[in-house]
């Protein structure tokens, strides 16, 4: 889905009236037989309605509500650390208050759901099912969970796609799969292994785009993999049940796709289409 915007302004007395029209161009994105998406996730940060509090009964209520779609349920505790500087000037890690998440899964589904006191996220595990299915499950699960969560406002929406491309040699530079673009600098493309590139820009008021390129190593991979991590964030406040939520998600997804589409070169295009890797790279 592609979006374009048309703005018109006119003056009435001492006031300027501005109207914005959104035009939708329904051009579907291609579906590749060999996708590189390791994980896709969308996370909402929300504020509860006045008087709504997290209680010990909510995990059980959520598990009961979601059991048909997500029959497996567990509590995951996350322990974080922060750097503290003592009176003697020494630097030491200081443990933070443990945070917990409720994790809901289904062995027969590619989706995984995580909920905490003020966050809600849907993740894909295994083969990516495509944006229409991902978006539909995200909206369905959110609508169901609001019955227990009682959210008032969504304060942040993050849509993130983590791409993994196995590398073909130890010294393979990023240029083997990527090309320079608005988000990928030319200097990165010929870097030797050990590179970490991260760019965070404010694309609009209360909106950010984060692009990260690095490498990762798994025991099963001889040369590791190139990681292209694209994160699109909106911090515009909207009502939890705002009718514009599907359109906001479409816009964020379109932005993620544009970053990926502009960064992939012919080799990565061939790999996505399942063509011979040796000749593609």
Which own/partner pairs from 15-22 qualify as long-range (CB within 8 Å, at least 24 positions apart)?
22/247
CA–CA separation, 47 and 116 (whole Å): 12
Say if CB 42 and CB 112 are below 8 A apart.
Answer: no
Q: What percent of the chain has pLDDT over 90?
A: 73
Say if CB 206 and CB 236 are below 8 A apart.
Answer: yes
Query: What is the full DSSP assignment across 105-132?
Result: E-TT-SEEEEE-SSEEEEEE-SS---HH
Residue given tokens 């060999």 in the structure block = 34
Consecutive H or E run containing 261: helix 245-263
Instruction: Record the pTM.
Output: 0.84
Compute the Cα dihedral for 240, 145, 156, 56 and give only its sign.
positive
pLDDT per position as a tens digit, 67-87:
999 999 999 986 555 556 666
How far is Cα of residue 166 from the mean position of the Cα atoms in its chain? Answer: 21
* Residues linked to residue 119 through DSSP beta bridges, in sequence order: 45
pLDDT per position as a tens digit, 11-20:
445 544 444 4
Q: What is the mean pLDDT of residues 179-203?
A: 96
Name the residue with higher pLDDT: 241 or 79: 241
């Amino acid at each position: 889905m592609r979006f374009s915007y048309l703005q018109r302004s006119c003056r009435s007395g001492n006031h300027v009236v501005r109207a914005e029209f959104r035009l939708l161009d329904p051009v579907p994105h291609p579906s590749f037989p060999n996708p590189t998406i390791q994980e896709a996730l969308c996370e909402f940060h929300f504020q509860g309605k006045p008087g709504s509090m997290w209680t010990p009964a909510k995990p059980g209520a959520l598990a009961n509500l979601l059991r048909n779609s997500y029959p497996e349920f567990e509590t995951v505790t996350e322990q974080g650390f922060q750097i503290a500087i003592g009176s003697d000037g020494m630097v030491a890690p200081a443990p933070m208050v443990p945070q917990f998440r409720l994790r809901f899964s289904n062995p027969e589904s590619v989706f995984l759901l995580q909920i905490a006191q003020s966050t809600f996220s849907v993740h894909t595990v295994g083969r990516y099912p495509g944006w229409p299915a991902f978006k539909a499950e995200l909206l369905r699960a959110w609508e169901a969970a609001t019955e227990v969560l009682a959210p008032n406002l969504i304060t942040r929406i993050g849509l993130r796609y983590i791409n993994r491309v196995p590398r073909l040699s130890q010294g393979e530079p990023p240029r083997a799969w990527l090309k320079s673009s608005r988000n990928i600098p030319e200097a990165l493309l010929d870097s030797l292994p050990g590179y970490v590139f991260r760019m965070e820009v404010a694309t609009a008021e209360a909106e950010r785009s984060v692009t990260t390129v690095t490498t990762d190593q798994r025991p099963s991979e001889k040369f590791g993999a190139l990681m292209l991590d694209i994160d699109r964030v909106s911090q515009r406040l909207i009502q939890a049940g705002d009718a514009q939520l599907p359109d906001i998600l479409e816009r964020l997804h379109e932005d993620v796709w544009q970053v990926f589409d502009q960064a992939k070169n012919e080799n990565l295009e061939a790999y996505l289409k399942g063509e011979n890797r040796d000749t593609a790279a």
